[in-house]
Chain A
């Protein structure tokens, strides 16, 4: 197990293995997204109260779920980078931030678009929406903080601490609709007991959630590959790779 962990710290090995993972994961992801979107947007019945506008759930929920999970990926990378001083963990942290920020933004945007016809407003400062906005600022903060340092080692350390401190926000977002009176409804997909979304609508949603996880992984790996090349630009193996 430790040998695998040490291999993860080796840039050429990580670059090679991520390339071969992407070769099959990327087409699979695109297939899953295309299937799930077609299924959800064209072949499911409209909702009994919302009609067709509920279909935004097929983008909103997967994006929000993976935006939360992605934060844990980023924070874990931060912890590994602080404890083991692993450079590749820094690269992973820096690679995860823009992907997470994009997903959070998509969740907020689709939520606003859905909120207008459903609630009657684009935006309301309730606990769920506000904590989600804080998540977006945390992601953007990590990006900005990293860019603010000239010394990338110090930048990695500062970003790792920021991302670790921010983890407290994730359970708050998740439980906000249960802890406080909010306009946002509680979760429809339940891990214990039957879900309050009809199975015919649930299956494409689950497929899309899995596909969004895969999409996050693909974007993370692709970003990391760029990060590795930038970081290792002066080394022999990169020069050989680009034919210098």
Chain B
């Protein structure tokens, strides 16, 4: 390669390298702020600020959703399998909100560690399948659980 072109190639590589390093350092410095939500374990360990608007995300605990009979108020818990955070919300939940599914709630933590949410979003996972496949998967899971029980 011609020496002039080689020099320009090196400059191009350096431009890419240094800009990547600069952005990488920036992302590293801001790593906590880029996260959209706090997982429950960070809320319990006191990393999430109390009295400020934050987001908490995790799996909705099975059987934890309680709806008020005379208002839109709903209570549920989210977990990351290490800690759970109770959430109170008055409003309409998204269609895909469900127990055992991901959810992200925005609101303010009170002193008791309850999140008073002003917005609840459903977090969809990366699994896509037709309903028949989902049913078959469910059935085989149930059969496996039964077989396990029969063994014991």
Contacts and interface: CB of A to CB of B under 8 A. Distances in A.
A46 B130 CA distance: 6
A54 B128 contact: yes
A68 to B, nearest CB: 16
Contacts of A151: none
Interface residues of B, number: 44
A124 B39 CA distance: 17
Nearest to B23: A168
Interface stretch (B91-99, B108-116, B141-149): B91-99
Interface in B100-120: 101, 104, 119-120
Contacts of A120: 93-97, 119-122
A44 B126 CA distance: 18
Chain A interface helix/strand/loop/mixed: loop
Contacts of B150: none
Contact of B130 (A47, A167, A188): A47
A201 B134 CA distance: 13
Given A83-B8, A117-B95, A118-B96, A181 B35 contact: yes
A101 interface: no
Interface residues of A, number: 43
Contacts of B24: 168
Contact of B34 (A47, A84, A127): A127
Given A84-B5, A120-B94, A46 B36 contact: no
B68 to A, nearest CB: 20
Interface string A144-187: 00000000000000000100110111001000000111110111
Given A119-B94, A127-B34, A183-B37, 19 more contacts: A46-B130, A46-B131, A47-B128, A47-B131, A49-B101, A49-B124, A50-B124, A118-B94, A118-B96, A119-B96, A119-B123, A120-B96, A120-B119, A127-B36, A180-B35, A182-B35, A183-B104, A188-B128, A201-B128
6 contacts: A120-B94, A165-B15, A165-B19, A183-B57, A196-B126, A196-B127
